[in-house]
C-alpha cells in the first residue's frame, strides 16, 4: 500500500522586487491621475456651486482642497509601501494586514480632512465643534477611498503575477518547441550516418579504398555543413538544395550510374525559408525504394515552385508504390517530417503522398512562402 503525504501550504502572491519595478510607471501614473481627479471632482461637486455665496471662504476652501489631496496622496503612498513589505506573507495575512492598515489610514485621513476644514475654512481649532454625525459621514468616505486604493494596488500586483506566469509559459512552450524540433532533426542524421558508414565499411572490405576515402570526405563535409545550420530552424531553399546536392554526391559514390536525379526549381522559390534538412529524409527514402532495391537503378525528381503565397515541393521516384513503402518503414520518415512542419508552421502545411503512373511515389509538400527579412 502506497501512502502519500499532502502538504497544504497557504498561497501567496509570490511577487519579487522586479514585479514592483515593472509597476513603478503604472503606479505613479495612477497615483497622480487618481488624486488629481479626486481634487477636480471635489472642486466641481462641492466648491464650485458655493462660489459667490455670502461668507464663502474661497481661498480657505482651495487651500483645504490642496492639503486634503496631498494628505490622501501621501497616505495612499504609505499604503503601497506597506503592501510591498508584507506581500511575501500568506495571502490571507497579507489581505488582513492590508485592509486593517487601510482602515487605520482612512481614519487618519478623515481626521486630517476634518481638521484642515475646521482650521482653514471656518478658522476654528482643529478639534473644535466636532460631532458624531459629521465625523461619521466623512469617515465613511475616507475609509472607502483607502479601501478602493488598496483594492487597485492588489489588482495591479495580481495582473503583474498573471503577466509573469504568461511570459514563463510562453518561454516554456518556446523551449519545448525548440527541443522538439532539435530532437526531430537529430533523428535524421544517425539513420543516414548508419547507412553511409555501412557502405564505407563494405567498400573497405572490397579493397575499394579510394572510393571509401572519397565517400568519407564527402560525409565529413555533409555533417560539417549540417552542423553549421544546427542552431537555425530555417534556411533558404537555395541552401537546402546545396545540402541535398552534397548528400546526393555521397549517395552517388554508393550507386554510381544507378542513381539518376533531376532537379527542377523555379528561381523565385530559391529565397523561400524552409526547415533545415526538410528534403533529405524524403530523398533518402526515394533512394531506398527506387534505387537500392533495383539493380537497374531508378530516377528521382525534385521540384520546387512558388504558387501565390505558397511553396510547393515535390519528391518523385519511379520505384515502389507508396502502399508498400509505408508498410516497410517509409511512414516513419514522413511522420517525422509532418511533426517538424506542424511544430514550425502551426498546422499551416500540407503533406500528400500518392502513386505515380510509372509505379513510383510522389511526396508533395505545401508550406507558406516566407522570405528572410
31-87 per-position pLDDT tens digit: 889 899 989 998 998 888 888 888 788 888 899 899 999 999 999 999 888 888 887
Rank 139-143, 156-160, 220-224, 328-332 by mean pLDDT and report only the highest: 139-143
Using the predicted structure, report yes or no on whether residue 1 has a pLDDT greater than 50: no
Rank 187-196, 219-228, 258-267, 281-290 by mean pLDDT and report only the highest: 258-267
Using the predicted structure, report yes or no on whether residue 185 has a pLDDT greater than 50: yes
Compute the average pLDDT of residues 178-198.
62
Burial class (CB in 10 A: 0-12, 13-18, 19+), 42: middle
Handedness of CA 323, 327, 329, 335 (dihedral sign): positive
Rank 47-61, 121-135, 220-234, 293-307 by mean pLDDT and report only the highest: 293-307
Using the predicted structure, report yes or no on whether residue 170 has a pLDDT greater than 90: no
pLDDT band at 231; cut points 50, 70, 90? very low
Residue 206 grid coordinates:
572490397
- Strand 361-368 and strand 310-317: the pairing is antiparallel
pLDDT at residue number 276: 83
Domains and CATH numbers, the chain: 17-175 (no CATH), 187-368 (3.30.565.10)
pLDDT band at 373; cut points 50, 70, 90? low
What is the C-alpha separation between 356 and 182, in angstroms, rounded?
Answer: 33
pLDDT at residue number 368: 94
Say whether 123 sits in a helix, a strand or coil: coil
- Reported in sequence order, the residue ranges of the chain that DSSP labels E, i.e. its strands, are 234-236, 259-265, 273-275, 298-307, 310-317, 350-355, 361-368
Using the predicted structure, report yes or no on whether residue 119 has a pLDDT greater than 50: yes
Q: Against a cut of 0.85, is the pTM above it?
A: no
**Higher pLDDT among residues 327 and 80, named by residue:** 80
pLDDT at residue number 275: 87
- List pLDDT tens digits, range 127-150: 665 666 677 778 888 888 889 888
Lowest average pLDDT, out of 191-195, 242-246, 322-326, goes to 322-326
Rank 6-10, 15-19, 99-103 by mean pLDDT and report only the highest: 99-103
Using the predicted structure, report yes or no on whether residue 7 has a pLDDT greater than 50: no
pLDDT band at 332; cut points 50, 70, 90? low
- DSSP assignment string, 165-226: HHHHHHHHHHHHHHHHHHHHHHTHHHHHHHHHHHHHHHHHHTT-HHHHHHHHHHHHHHHHHH
Residue 350 grid coordinates:
500540407
Amino acid at each position: 500500500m502506497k501512502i502519500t503525504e499532502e502538504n497544504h501550504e497557504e498561497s501567496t502572491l509570490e511577487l519579487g522586487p522586479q514585479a514592483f519595478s515593472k509597476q513603478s510607471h503604472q503606479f505613479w501614473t495612477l497615483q497622480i491621475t487618481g488624486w488629481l481627479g479626486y481634487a477636480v471632482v471635489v472642486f466641481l461637486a462641492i466648491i464650485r456651486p458655493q462660489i459667490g455665496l455670502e461668507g464663502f471662504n474661497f481661498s480657505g476652501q482651495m487651500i483645504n482642497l490642496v492639503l486634503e489631496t496631498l494628505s490622501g496622496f501621501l497616505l495612499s503612498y504609505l499604503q503601497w509601501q506597506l503592501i510591498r513589505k508584507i506581500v511575501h506573507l500568506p495571502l490571507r495575512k497579507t489581505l488582513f494586514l492590508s485592509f486593517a492598515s487601510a482602515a487605520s489610514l482612512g481614519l487618519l485621513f478623515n481626521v486630517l480632512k476634518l481638521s484642515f476644514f475646521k482650521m482653514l475654512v471656518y478658522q476654528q481649532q482643529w478639534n473644535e465643534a466636532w460631532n458624531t454625525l459629521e465625523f461619521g459621514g466623512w469617515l465613511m468616505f475616507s475609509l472607502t477611498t483607502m479601501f478602493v486604493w488598496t483594492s487597485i494596488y492588489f489588482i495591479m500586483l495580481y495582473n503583474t503575477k498573471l503577466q509573469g506566469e504568461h511570459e514563463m509559459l510562453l518561454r516554456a512552450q518556446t523551449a519545448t518547441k525548440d527541443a522538439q524540433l532539435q530532437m526531430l532533426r537529430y533523428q535524421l542524421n544517425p539513420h543516414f550516418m548508419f547507412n553511409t558508414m555501412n557502405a564505407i565499411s563494405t567498400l573497405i572490405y572490397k579493397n575499394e579504398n579510394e572510393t571509401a576515402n572519397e565517400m568519407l570526405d564527402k560525409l565529413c563535409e555533409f555533417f560539417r555543413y549540417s552542423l553549421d545550420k544546427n542552431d537555425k530552424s530555417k534556411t533558404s531553399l537555395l541552401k537546402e538544395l546545396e545540402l541535398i546536392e552534397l548528400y546526393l554526391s555521397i549517395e552517388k559514390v554508393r550507386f554510381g550510374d544507378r542513381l539518376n536525379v533531376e532537379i527542377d526549381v523555379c528561381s523565385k522559390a530559391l529565397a523561400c525559408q524552409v526547415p533545415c534538412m526538410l528534403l533529405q529524409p524524403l530523398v533518402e527514402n526515394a533512394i531506398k525504394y527506387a534505387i537500392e532495391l533495383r539493380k537497374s537503378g531508378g530516377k528521382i525528381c525534385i521540384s520546387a515552385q512558388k504558387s501565390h503565397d505558397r511553396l510547393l515541393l515535390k519528391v518523385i521516384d519511379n520505384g515502389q508504390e507508396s502502399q508498400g513503402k509505408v508498410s516497410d518503414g517509409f511512414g516513419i520518415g514522413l511522420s517525422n517530417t509532418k511533426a517538424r512542419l506542424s511544430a514550425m508552421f502551426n498546422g499551416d502545411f500540407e503533406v500528400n503522398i500518392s502513386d505515380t503512373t510509372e509505379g513510383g511515389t510522389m511526396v508533395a509538400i505545401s508550406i507558406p512562402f516566407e522570405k528572410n527579412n
